[in-house]
Structure 1
Amino acid sequence: MTWLLLVALAVPVVVAVVLLTRAPDGLVRAAPLALVPVVAVDLLGPAGGVVLRLDLVGRPLLLFVGVLYAAALALTARSADARTASRSGLLLVAFVGTATVLVAADAVTFLAGCVVTTVGAHRLILHPRTVTARRAGRLYLVLAVASDAVLAVAVVLVVAAGGLRLADAPAAVAAAPAGGVIVGLLLLGFGIKAATFPLHGWLPIDEAAASVPVGAVLSGTVVKVGLVGWLRFLPLGHEAMPGWGTVLVVAALVGAFGVLVPGVLTDDPEVSLAYSTVGQMGFLAMVVGVALGAPDLAEACVLTAVVYAVHHGMAKGGLIMAVEVWERYGAGRARAVVLGGALVLGLAITGAPLGSGAVAKYTAKRAVGDAPFLVDVTAVLPFVATVSTLLLVRALVLLRASGHAGPADPDAGLWSWAVLAVGGTVGTWVLAWLWLPPEKVPGLDAVTAWGAAWPILLGLAVAGLVLAAARAGVLPAWTRTLRIPAGDLLEAVARGFDRSADGSVDRPVDARTRRDGGTIGRSTR
């Protein structure tokens, strides 16, 4: 099975090389098929080896990553951009890096996958060749290289402690004399990759600069590299580290709720969606923090984190793609498909009953219910859905105000996105039924449904009041003009460096201007 996985990963590598060098006609549209061998091997079942392995963590994540990248490639192939082939090749490079992270059996291979992901993501961010893209690429590269450097030190310490194989890494970290230092390095290095507060600023900046399919994979898959790193290396279930666990839980909760302000005070719908991702990754970081502080809850938290990651990756990646799907197909014969798919994805992100978010958030609440922290984690979790609802409403308002529905007829790009929208919900429920104990899967009773619905209704009520007040002209004047730049804290630091370098500030392009020089709502990417 290991050699099959190697062959399967070699296929997108070869296609990527060809796309980046020769790009023969027809290969761009066939690029999604390069991921079929990886998905097929993943479906065959678990596999173990010295370098690569497919286990209960990697298999479901690899499946959703393959589906999401295939949809991004299909949507990219429908672009009229002359540089579509190179973008498709870079998407395949990023996929290979992420897939390597998911199937790595040893620490060195895992770190190599992180580096390849960094290279692919960086080149994708730079791909539009605009001033905004170059600036965003610089900021991403600085943070990503810092992350990889910190992780290289951590990996050296883990290997020295006997954790070369990832199966042995958590126990090795727990037994290492410098275990606390290693955990701190792992939290920092993977925290950057997971866009966890206060290390999150790169994601909104890059979402504003990259093309829509690239933004979808950044929010859907690239940030999951940080989560997988925590699950692979942290001593979850081996040693209680309540200090580090509390630090991660507090940072995660601050991020989950703090994203509301910059996510609302923006004029770019994709920035709002990026901050929603930061909040959702805060939710996942909180689950990991609970597992780190309470070893007896670790197993349930790990399973929950994987289920939640599958849900979020499919739903958020699809929702970001919906921006371009609407711009391309929203006024054509497929309008109902576009609206229906966007509704399914939006309800999934907020955690509405029957959606993928409902099962993911229910399992998370059950997993952390006995967490020994000063803050009642389960009491505040529902309000994460309220924040998500407000951010999605803001994104919808911005998209409606500035976007224009396109008249294109249905094609492979649309149908791949529709499969992603429906498959994310179905796949999350199937994974929960197959993997989790029955008591951790939500029922269909009225009490469970109301528990999932009331945070969303609260968010809609607050949004409705704000919109009504805005139309009545009773909101303070500053609410109409105050905007927080994408990246917030990171942007403030970057501007400080810009000033110190040459006395001027390299300001981002106005959010109303598209990353490629067009206007929002026109598919000029």
Structure 2
Amino acid sequence: MTTALWILALILPLTIATLIGVTAAPPRPAADASVPAPESPVQRLWLAIAPLTALPAMALTAIPGASLTVPWLLVGTHLHVDGLARPLVLVSALLYAAALAAVAWAGYRGGRGLVAFLLVCHVGTTVVFTAGDTATFYLGYGLMSFAAYGLVVNSRTTEALRAGRVYIVLAVLSEGAVLAALLLITAIGGPLVEDAPRAVAESDHTALIVALLLVGFGVKAGTLPLHVWLPLAHPAAPPAASAVLSGAMVKAGLMGWLRFLPLGEADLPGWGLALVVVALAGAFLAVPAGELQNEPKVVLAYSTISQMGFLAALVGVALSSPELAAAVAPAAVAYAVHHALAKGALFLGVPVWSHHAHGARRWVVAVGLGGAALAVAGAPFSSGSVGKYAAKNAVEGVELGGVDLVDLLPLVATGSTLLLLRAGWLLVRREPDVRPRPDAELGAWLVLVAAGIVVPWVVTERWLPLTAVPSLDPVTLWDATWPVLLGLAIAALAVLLAHRALLPGWARRADGRAVPPGDIVVPEERLARAVGSVSRSAVASVRDLRARADRDLARVIPSAAASRAFDTLESGLTSRAGSGAVVVLFGLVLALAGVVS
């Protein structure tokens, strides 16, 4: 039974993706090339099945410790739904099912390719969370990373292609760093993932491996300064793709850190402190950058960067304090579970608001979006309060520059409140694109909202070994409330200052020009163009020098017979010791001859 579920969870999505591709209808002549050709009946069947392919992965999470071993595949493939993977596999499957339903069942234009790439990404994400050996982990990581390029460039607009270029450059950087780290780890400790942390701790190259892991998985997790793909990819990708990019795929970076960093095995205060500082810098700097945007999905992307900074800070604590690793890992997963579902509901909610925020449905959509936003902010009684309470207990007593980390982390919720208020304001000001009746998009979103309410509580109560969950005592409730109230107060003050024209012009406009989406990617692109220009000039100069040398050589050796004699001499020189020096000397003579002439 378990083996059959594994086969269905991994093979069925890939099979449906392949069938969608091979049964594509031939292109028809059309005056409007932007309108996709209609699906054939066979394609409609595959599209209808696509969301159901996530069910086997969900079923695997109902079997504690479900595993699969295939000795003949790669270097021996091992998959295992352990305590850390189980919650993430469940929420990932829920997200992909909702995204696939919103695309495939709602008649999304251009949805065939999008569905196929979502299916491939789903398999890659599941493999990343469950891989028990390094080769299988890397296979899943690469599959997920490169298939996600198809999600980013789905619309093929200029903005999407630019976002795709930035994404693929960083994806290749991530792949290279992760591959180098995994090769070093495997050479030391063998192929099993469970042996990796000890192998890294005992290695003579611990610092190098940790650096590679932080950079490689930091790209996927959106850690400063490797975050720049997120604010570009989210507005370019369809909302369903954004939901899985922000909800599921960025968690692959977290899982990579939890699997391979020497958490609990080595005391690395320098690396841990560096990660905490960078993570908190990203968490707080994402707030002003996001506030200056004028597109809801860009603001939500910066919100993801901020919250992933929160998670990265937890990993940094575990890296510097091995005794806390056992408490930090499940707390990080609990926070990731709530964030995945709530942020997925927010991204999917962007088109839902445009299509269904009218009549009686308006209030249903407003309540759902408001609940998801409160969860991301960590408001009392929300799923976010569970993750943040667990994180607070896990890092209690840890200080950063003399400041207790427990006093700093709640301020991330204040930033989240500000960003979500900005996203909500931009959303309600958008021009609606009303749909007359409920559809699969609305249904998939409602299921995801309901899952965001129920699943985090069930997972943290039954699946994760947390030290505590939030109670209803006044102190706990106030700890969850004051960061949100502080965010509301700051927002009210900003509105008052704007009303009285006391804000600078760039802050009043907040149109994405003061800090463009991707922020530091803009000067990075300029630098890349400058380097490219210099490189092209250098290549052109080398070609000119070569052409000049050829002309000089032709003057020195004008006849064909002399040329053949020169070739014979060159062949003889290359076969003798010291001939390299002779060739260099001869080249200098030729150059001198050219100068003199």
TM-score normalised to structure 1 length: 0.92
Residues 390 and 466 in structure 2, CA contact (< 8 A), matched pair in contact too? no
Deviation at 1:399, TM superposition (A): 1.4
Pair 1:367 & 2:394 matched = yes
Task: Point out the structure with max Rg over C-alpha.
Answer: 2
2:514 aligned residue (464, 469, 483):
483
Aligned to 2:94: 67
Question: Aligned partners of 1:491 and 1:398: how far apart in 2?
Answer: 24
Aligned to 1:427: 455
Of 435-444 and 230-239, more deviation after overlay is shown by 435-444
Pair 1:208 & 2:227 matched = no
**Which segments of 5 or more consecutive residues in structure 2 lack a partner in the other structure?**
25-42, 70-77, 535-597
Question: Aligned partners of 1:135 and 1:437: how far apart in 2?
Answer: 43
Deviation at 1:181, TM superposition (A): 1.2
Specify the SS of the correspondent of 1:52.
strand
Question: Aligned partners of 2:64 and 2:465: how far apart in 1?
Answer: 21
Deviation at 1:446, TM superposition (A): 1.9
Residues 292 and 298 in structure 1, CA contact (< 8 A), matched pair in contact too? yes
Aligned to 2:14: 13
Residues 100 and 110 in structure 1, CA contact (< 8 A), matched pair in contact too? yes
Give the counterpart letter for 1:367 in structure 2. A
Residues 106 and 440 in structure 2, CA contact (< 8 A), matched pair in contact too? no
Specify the SS of the correspondent of 1:487.
coil
Deviation at 1:333, TM superposition (A): 4.2
What are the superposed Cα offsets for residues 280-321 of structure 1, whole Å, 9 maximum, x if unpaired?
000000000101111110010000011111111111111111
Pair 1:397 & 2:425 matched = yes
Q: Percent identity between the aligned chains?
A: 45
**Matches of residues 216-295 of structure 1 in structure 2 within 5 Å?**
216-295=243-322
**Matches of residues 98-117 of structure 1 in structure 2 within 5 Å?**
98-117=125-144
CA-atom RMSD in angstroms:
1.7
Question: Aligned partners of 2:263 and 2:528: how far apart in 1?
Answer: 38
Residues 331 and 405 in structure 1, CA contact (< 8 A), matched pair in contact too? no
What are the superposed Cα offsets for residues 449-501 of structure 1, whole Å, 9 maximum, x if unpaired?
11101110110111112112223333222323453111111232013324555
Aligned to 1:27: 46
1:324 aligned residue (323, 333, 351):
351
Specify the SS of the correspondent of 2:146.
helix
Question: Aligned partners of 2:436 and 2:348: how far apart in 1?
Answer: 15
Deviation at 1:78, TM superposition (A): 4.8
1:178 aligned residue (205, 211, 216):
205
Deviation at 1:39, TM superposition (A): 1.1
Question: Aligned partners of 2:226 and 2:466: how far apart in 1?
Answer: 36
**Larger relative contact order (Cα-Cα within 8 Å, sequence gap ≥ 6):** 1
Give the counterpart letter for 2:340 in structure 1. G
Aligned to 1:37: 56
What are the superposed Cα offsets for residues 308-365 of structure 1, whole Å, 9 maximum, x if unpaired?
1111111111111110111121125422221111011011000000101001000000
Residues 327 and 467 in structure 2, CA contact (< 8 A), matched pair in contact too? no
Question: Aligned partners of 2:317 and 2:230: how far apart in 1?
Answer: 25
Question: Aligned partners of 2:178 and 2:408: how far apart in 1?
Answer: 32
Residues 83 and 463 in structure 2, CA contact (< 8 A), matched pair in contact too? no
Deviation at 1:170, TM superposition (A): 0.8
Give the counterpart letter for 1:453 in structure 2. T
Deviation at 1:49, TM superposition (A): 4.2
**Which segments of 5 or more consecutive residues in structure 1 lack a partner in the other structure?**
504-525
Pair 1:495 & 2:495 matched = no
Pair 1:466 & 2:508 matched = no
1:406 aligned residue (434, 439, 443):
434
What are the superposed Cα offsets for residues 156-179 of structure 1, whole Å, 9 maximum, x if unpaired?
000001141011111111111111
Residues 9 and 123 in structure 2, CA contact (< 8 A), matched pair in contact too? no
Shift in alpha-carbon separation, 1:45–1:296, aligned structure 2, 3 A: same
What are the superposed Cα offsets for residues 387-406 of structure 1, whole Å, 9 maximum, x if unpaired?
00000111111112224262
Give the counterpart letter for 1:52 in structure 2. L
Aligned to 1:442: 470
Aligned to 1:167: 194
Query: How many pairs are equivalent?
Result: 503
Specify the SS of the correspondent of 1:46.
coil
Aligned to 2:330: 303
Residues 201 and 491 in structure 1, CA contact (< 8 A), matched pair in contact too? no
Question: Aligned partners of 1:167 and 1:391: how far apart in 2?
Answer: 38
Deviation at 1:437, TM superposition (A): 5.8
Deviation at 1:502, TM superposition (A): 6.6
Deviation at 1:79, TM superposition (A): 4.9
Residues 80 and 132 in structure 2, CA contact (< 8 A), matched pair in contact too? yes
TM-score normalised to structure 2 length: 0.81
Deviation at 1:220, TM superposition (A): 0.7
What are the superposed Cα offsets for residues 50-83 of structure 1, whole Å, 9 maximum, x if unpaired?
4111100111100000000111111112554442
Deviation at 1:34, TM superposition (A): 1.2
Residues 297 and 367 in structure 1, CA contact (< 8 A), matched pair in contact too? yes
Residues 273 and 316 in structure 2, CA contact (< 8 A), matched pair in contact too? yes
Specify the SS of the correspondent of 1:62.
helix
Give the counterpart letter for 2:218 in structure 1. G
